[in-house]
Amino acid sequence: MNLRPIIVLLGCCSAFALAQQKEIIAYYPSWKHPSGAALLPPERIPYDHLNILNYAFFFPRPDGSIAGRDSTGDALLLEPAATGTKLAALAHRSGVKVLLSVGGWEDSYNFPAVAADPKLRSRFVHSCIQHITEFGFDGIDIDWEYPGEKTHNGTAADGPNFTLLLQALRDSLDALGVHSARHYLLSAALPGDSAHSSALQMRTIAGMLDFLNIMTYDFYGPWDPLANHNAPLYAGIGGDSARSLSGAFRLYQKIYRLPAWKINLGVPFYGHTYASCTAINTSHAGSDTVHFAPQGAFYAEIAAKMKHLTGYWDEAAQVPYLVSTDWNMLVSYDDERSVAAKARYVLDCGARGLIIWELTGDLMPDGTHPLLDALYRTFHDTR
């Protein structure tokens, strides 16, 4: 079904907004290291299309120190700064900054206790600073998913404690910057919905952060009773306008009153699958685990099976989806057209740029990155 698009620009189009250089920030997973099944060693990263790499993930231990999620990947990808960090050195050679991202959905359960205790907060900050100086990172990205999330040991005090944690990091990064005559970046990956973001002291923490990375994906998934789009730009078939990239931008700019130039919006290089389902906004039987992994599928995996799938475009949502009647399943994902539409939205609304989860998702067998290329072309098209 094609529905007429609803274009909402929030009154933010201006010559200044359109002229701003837009950033592309990509998360780079440590566990997909060169010795593994895939994929993208530091020397093959398309640095010319990026502004920042977020190295994911380290996580907080119960004692407040941080550790890498994949020690094998860390050993292969990171080297002491004294000898030149493999990843950071290559990135810096191309003018790309590298931030250490701490947290992630699976490793956020220690944040509540660490943030609540002054001694643990101090140890956490000290450990972050140690890793910056040892490995040559340009700052820290905090990916606590999410303050107040009960399944991750969240409490009602997480919001204020998150503020305290960020303030301690900001102070220490600034002190390190004075010593080394440079500015170290601090960012945070933040939820795209009001249910989670309302726990945060948003205007206070925004003043501490260099920019905010809004996770505008996973708006719908196999956990919902009805199949719908993973990352719609606008509300689509049966969708809720708040559960969309434009709805999240409106939340942060209009409700939380944050400046557009500080907001990065998210683009997923992956999709969700639905079994026993062949139409948007209909019931399903959970993830398709026969043809794809239970947690979903990256763009390159979806593209490899495209011949078995029929493509559709939701004109209202400005995203595609795929259906297989033979397999009795549906895939919600992003393609070159939809990511370009999101990049144009960023240009039109004066947002800072886009974040990508994650960089290896659109790596094709021939070494190309079609989704990343589409984002870059849209941001740099001067016609």
CB 183 within 8 A of CB 142: no
| Domain-embedded: residue 113 | yes
Q: Which of 9-18, 83-92, 128-137 has the lowest mean pLDDT?
A: 9-18
Q: What is the pLDDT of residue 82?
A: 72
Q: What is the pLDDT of residue 7?
A: 33
Q: Is the pLDDT of residue 85 over 90?
A: no
| Domain-embedded: residue 275 | no
Tally of structural domains, the chain: 1
Q: Which residue has the tokens 């997480």?
A: 158
Nearest to 170 by CA among 202, 120, 146, 204: 204
Which pair of tokens denotes residue 365?
């067998």
CB 140 within 8 A of CB 173: yes
| Domain-embedded: residue 219 | yes
Residue 7 CB neighbours (<10 A) = 11
Domain of 157, CATH number, reads 3.20.20.80
Res. 36 pLDDT band, cuts 50 70 90 = low
Domain that holds residue 67: 15-268+334-380
Q: What is the pLDDT of residue 83?
A: 73
| Domain-embedded: residue 20 | yes
| Domain-embedded: residue 308 | no
Mean pLDDT value across the chain: 92
Q: For 176-215, write each residue's pLDDT tens digit.
A: 999 999 999 999 999 999 999 999 999 999 999 999 999 9
d(CA 360, CA 326): 29
Q: What is the pLDDT of residue 289?
A: 96
User: 283 - beta bridge partners?
Assistant: 226
Q: Is the pLDDT of residue 81 over 90?
A: no
**Where in the chain does DSSP place strands (E)?**
23-29, 52-60, 66-68, 97-103, 139-143, 185-191, 211-215, 263-268, 270-275, 297-298, 310-314, 319-324, 329-332, 353-357
d(CA 333, CA 272): 7
**Which residue did the predictor score with more confidence, 59 or 75?**
59
Q: For 336-360, write each residue's pLDDT tens digit.
A: 999 999 999 999 999 999 999 999 9
Q: What is the pLDDT of residue 237?
A: 85
Q: What is the pLDDT of residue 38?
A: 54
CB 158 within 8 A of CB 112: yes
Q: Determine what percent of the chain is predicted with pLDDT higher than 70.
A: 93
Q: What is the pLDDT of residue 50?
A: 98
| Domain-embedded: residue 300 | no
Res. 295 pLDDT band, cuts 50 70 90 = confident
How would DSSP label each residue in 335-361?
A: -HHHHHHHHHHHHHHT--EEEEE-GGG
| Domain-embedded: residue 147 | yes
| Domain-embedded: residue 320 | no
User: Average pLDDT in the 117-143 region?
Assistant: 97
Res. 76 pLDDT band, cuts 50 70 90 = confident
Q: Is the pLDDT of residue 254 over 70?
A: yes
User: Average pLDDT in the 250-277 region?
Assistant: 98
Q: Is the pLDDT of residue 20 over 80?
A: no
Res. 39 pLDDT band, cuts 50 70 90 = confident
User: Average pLDDT in the 281-292 region?
Assistant: 97
**Which residue did the predictor score with more confidence, 156 or 17?**
156
